[in-house]
Amino acid sequence: MTQIKNQPHTVDIGVGGMTCASCVARVEKALLKVPGVRLATVNLATEMARIEVTTVDTTAVPTEARLRRAIRDAGYEPRVKQAAEDEANAHSAWTGFAPVAWGLALSTPLVLPMLGSLWEQHWMLPAWAQFALATPVQFILGARFYKAGWHALKALTGNMDLLVSLGTTAGWMLSVWLWWSAPDGAMPHLYFEGSAVVITLVLLGKWLESRAKRQTTEAIRALHALRPDHAHWLSQEGEADVPVDEIRVGDLIVVRPGERLPLDGDLQEGATQVDESMLTGEPLPVNKSAGARLTGGSINGEGRVVMRVTAVGHETVLSHIIRLVEDAQAAKAPIQRLVDKVAEVFVPVVLLLALLTWVGWLWAGAHFETALIHAVAVLVIACPCALGLATPVAIMAGTGVAAKHGILIKDAQALEMAHRVQTVAFDKTGTLTVGQPRLNAHVPAPGQNEKQTLAWAASVQSGSEHPLALAVTAAAKAQGLDLETVLNMRAVPGKGVQASVGGRQLLLGSLPWLQQEGMDAQLWAADLPALQAQGASVSALAERTPQGVQGLLLMAFGDEPKPGAAQALADLRARGLKLVMISGDNRSAAEAMARRLGLRPENGEVLAEVLPGDKVAAVQQLRSEGRVVAMVGDGVNDAPALAAADVGMAMGNGTDVAMHAAGITLMRGEVALVAAALDISARSVAKIRQNLFWAFAYNVAGIPLAALGYLNPMVAGAAMALSSVSVMANALLLKRWKP
């Protein structure tokens, strides 16, 4: 047998026929029994299963066919993900109402005659007519409950369908028995209307629930709708409309005024304004000129532009956003795991309570039918529908509305944890500042030529994308300096670079590093204090010679705070949060920038001279104080710290590595979105708690009332349907949230 390395991958499968939290638990257990399945998460609200499988060897690969068979054997209907999405998108407002309509039509003649008793009138239908109306509801419209309940019974578990089928069947059979055993000419009190109405109300509740579910997935459908089907491909023969799937990286495409950009790319010809509101939440159009980055899904303004495609398919920013939102909505919050454990034992406990209710009423001297009706009411009202929906619908609504406003929440754990944050740590460059530093000053060492040393520095930095390197090369370009060939370039992580230029062994990096290498920083003793007091980040260029490391050029870089960053930090402070800025700059420069941002270095709100590799230790130190820490960053060197924090937030204008490491991505890169992310987390968790309280309180209050005879099966059925709908409606209130 050929062994290969484990390769985990994810499979998404739609699951039809689930009705409650117990169904979720049963599907997950069935999937986990398939060899190679490492993790299975089932979402009742989306009716999707996300399965993480591991390839162990070439002969034991858990295929989708085996996974779908496991779902089917558990008593549910496996569906292809795309087909499930297309079906959801095609639904009209009244889709699925036909069974409800038939139930209402057949149940109404059974219920209306009961109104006659208010005026002491006997309007009840003959027993045969009640039987004829109730039986189709019981066994045709209610067939779904029997099927699902039977599968649950075979698996020695329980679910909502089992409770409904047992309860309504008991009511129907009791009515048949009373009818057949009654003396000729007698009109016994029958319970056909109770069974029929319960089934109708449950069907109505599930229909209303499905309508609400479709509203929770609006965010995903809206994102999918941003992708055009065709693009104007520009070839040597001219423009041609081709499917987007046929476009490759490097192709040129034309985007006309008012059209959506089909893919990601760089602007080659023309200038325009682009509406990126659906991606970033930014309401104002963004100016784009030659060389600018364009994102698929955004809307072109008034200019006709030509763009070169840089990403297609699943590699586009839009696909990445969709994947993040889907992942978040498929994930389970930690609190949901408690709910799942409760759901596993809930139905067996309810069955026991119903039996005890029946026995208790008989023991108290009640008639057989009275005791049975009370037991039926317990079975009906205890259906754990609301319990299974409480958490996932709130997560879906919260992550969906957050994505609409430019906040991508990667997983449910980040959503649940963010509202507990007590300390927010920020990277400086690119997070709190614009991240485009300029070379404000360059001071040559005594005896050195200013332009020559700047040209050497630019040559060393010519192949780097670091913001400081770009500032050096831009300054050299502005002076028209010629760059030389660089050899043997070697980076020293967190410190600088070494390279050979024109036979000279040059070092460029931080002053502490160069001093360690033997450079005398006293060359610029008169200049350093003034530059650092201004908040400048200072680097130097030096040459390694037989006599030692000789300083050549001192460079001072300046950056500007992001617009609105100071106010955003003030707002966070007003929420009672502790703020910390983590920077690799020297202390003077870091503290000068911190004061411009409204931070208080004297209160320990600045951690300066922190090497990239030490940011993790800084975050861990903050966590060791017993506080929940959020880390906000944008660069590759921030990724470990983002992962180490309780909640990692990545700026959307940063690197992909940072966004992968973070639990939350702020698409506009605005500091103000940090407070917004914490707020939507708090509101979503509040909805989860409200829903769980309602779901538990409903059962805690309803079961005793039913057991004591205060609720008949019809009222219990209505209350059960109402509980599910109310949970959905409460979660959908999140859609009105705005940052």
Catalytic residues: 427
Per the CB < 8 A criterion, the answer to whether 216 and 400 are in contact is: yes
Dihedral in degrees, nearest 10, Cα atoms 135, 137, 143, 145:
-120
**Spatial distance between the Cα atoms of 480 and 468, rounded to a whole number of angstroms:** 19
Angle at 13 between CA 7 and CA 15, to 5 degrees: 145
Asked if 385 and 44 count as a contact pair (C-beta separation under 8 A), the reply is no
Across 37-69, b (16+ Cβ under 10 Å) vs e yields: beebbbbbbbbbbbbebbebeeeeebeeeebbe
38 to each of 31, 52, 422, 449, how far by Cα in Å?
A: 9, 6, 34, 64
Decide the pairing of beta strands 286-288 and 252-255: unpaired
The tokens of 698 are what? 């409903």
Alpha carbon distance 16, 210 (integer Å): 12
Quote the DSSP letter at residue 303. Answer: S
Round to whole Å and give the CA distance between 722 and 698: 10
Is there a contact between 388 and 692 (Cβ–Cβ < 8 Å)? no
DSSP symbols for 14-49? EEES--SHHHHHHHHHHHHTSTTEEEEEEETTTTEE
Strand arrangement of the beta sheet that strand 77-80 belongs to: 37-43, 48-57, 3-16, 77-80
d(CA 167, CA 149): 12
Contact assessment for residue 613 and residue 494, using Cβ atoms and an 8 Å cutoff: yes
How far CA 660 is from CA of 281, 415, 644, 648, 651, in Å, comes to 20, 16, 13, 10, 11
CA atoms within 13 A on the CB side of 183: 1
**What number of residues does the chain have?**
739
Tell me the C-alpha to C-alpha distance, in Å, between residue 479 and each of 450, 454, 473: 11, 10, 10
| Cα 79 from Cα 15, distance rounded (Å) | 6
Q: Which of 113, 132, 111, 109 is nearest to 123 (CA)?
A: 113
* Distances in whole angstroms, Cα of residue 11 to Cα of each of 17, 24, 409, 606, 627: 19, 17, 21, 45, 37
